[in-house]
């Protein structure tokens, strides 16, 4: 990507030209650092991505990837999830946490797919939000990664990085999504999320960000501020 492509033109929204220029540079540096960044969840179809994303709530993608091969073997389609024995499905997804709610959501969402969408995962935000267990984050993951429709999926990494990098002063995911959508051009939304997630996992971790090895440290308003305060809190046993 060229450095002048990722953000909006100057007259299209209220974000300042300087902020857009800084955001462009951050994008380019992260893209260079994480070439080919992609979703961490393994999936072979939109339906598998839907199931995996529902299971990833409050759980690591690595943990979800451990159980989905066996899960998809036993329940290969919305029909099979819809007819699953709830208690048995709960056992299969137990290790991902919140297993009762997740099993219920998987059964209900699968029933909706079969009864309202001919067994296919729908392609619009509005339709996706009608499925049990699907909020804006999951819907955006589906749009961006299963259908190639730009979406900003605000998970814990995207939320934290957007705040630390000064892309958003907000804490709610919908407002962060809006701020990022004003800062970056639509065609970069899905890629931006992959880059922020990769950087959040590898360098800008929740507890102690590794600012000393961060490629965007020179552009980040939080550089070395958070790591210092985290270390001091740790020393004090806070």
Catalytic residues: 137, 155
Count of residues engaged in binding ligand SF4, rule: CB under 6 A: 14
Alpha helices in the chain (DSSP H): 17-33, 46-55, 61-74, 78-82, 86-93, 99-116, 125-128, 136-146, 156-164, 173-183, 189-202, 225-235
Identity of the residue, 122 or 209, whose beta carbon is nearer to ligand SF4 in the bound complex: 209
Query: Could you say which of 149, 182, 208, 223 contacts ligand SF4 (CB under 6 A)?
Result: 223
Site residues (CB under 6 A) for ligand SF4, limited to 191-210 = 203-204, 209-210
In the complex, least distance from residue 236 CB atom to ligand SF4, rounded to whole angstroms: 21
Identity of the residue, 109 or 226, whose beta carbon is nearer to ligand SF4 in the bound complex: 226
Identity of the residue, 183 or 220, whose beta carbon is nearer to ligand SF4 in the bound complex: 220
In the complex, least distance from residue 208 CB atom to ligand SF4, rounded to whole angstroms: 9
Question: Between the CA of residue 87 and those of 92, 95, 97, 106, what are the distances in Å?
Answer: 9, 14, 14, 13
Query: Could you say which of 23, 49, 54, 214 contacts ligand SF4 (CB under 6 A)?
Result: 214
d(CA 217, CA 210): 10
| Burial zone of 206 (CB within 10 Å; 0-12 exposed, 13-18 middle, 19+ buried) | exposed
In the complex, least distance from residue 211 CB atom to ligand SF4, rounded to whole angstroms: 3
d(CA 5, CA 27): 10
Site residues (CB under 6 A) for ligand SF4, limited to 136-165 = 164-165
In the complex, least distance from residue 205 CB atom to ligand SF4, rounded to whole angstroms: 8
d(CA 173, CA 175): 5
Question: Between the CA of residue 21 and those of 24, 51, 151, 188, what are the distances in Å?
Answer: 5, 38, 21, 15
Q: Which residues lie near ligand SF4 (CB under 6 A)?
A: 164-165, 203-204, 209-211, 214, 216-217, 220, 222-223, 226
């Amino acid at each position: 990507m060229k450095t002048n492509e990722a953000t909006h033109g100057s007259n299209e929204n209220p974000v300042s030209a300087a902020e857009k220029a800084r955001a462009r540079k951050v994008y380019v540096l992260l893209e260079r650092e994480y070439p080919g960044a992609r979703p961490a969840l393994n999936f072979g179809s939109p339906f598998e991505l839907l199931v995996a994303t529902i299971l990833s709530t409050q759980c690591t993608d690595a943990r979800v990837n451990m159980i989905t091969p066996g899960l998809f073997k036993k329940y290969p389609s919305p029909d099979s999830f819809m007819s699953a024995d709830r208690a048995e499905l709960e056992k299969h997804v137990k290790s991902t946490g919140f297993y009762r709610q997740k099993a219920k959501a998987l059964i209900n969402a699968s029933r909706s797919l079969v009864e309202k969408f001919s067994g296919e995962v729908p392609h619009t935000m509005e339709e996706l939000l009608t499925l049990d267990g699907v909020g804006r984050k999951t819907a955006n993951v589906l749009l961006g990664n299963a259908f190639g429709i730009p979406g900003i999926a605000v998970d814990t990494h995207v939320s934290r990085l957007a705040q630390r990098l000064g892309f958003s002063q907000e804490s709610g995911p919908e407002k962060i999504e809006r701020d990022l959508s004003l800062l970056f051009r639509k065609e970069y939304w899905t890629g931006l999320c992959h880059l922020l997630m990769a950087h959040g996992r590898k360098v800008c971790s929740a507890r102690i960000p590794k600012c000393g090895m961060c490629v965007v440290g020179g552009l980040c308003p939080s550089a070395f501020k958070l790591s210092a305060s985290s270390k001091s809190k740790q020393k004090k046993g806070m």
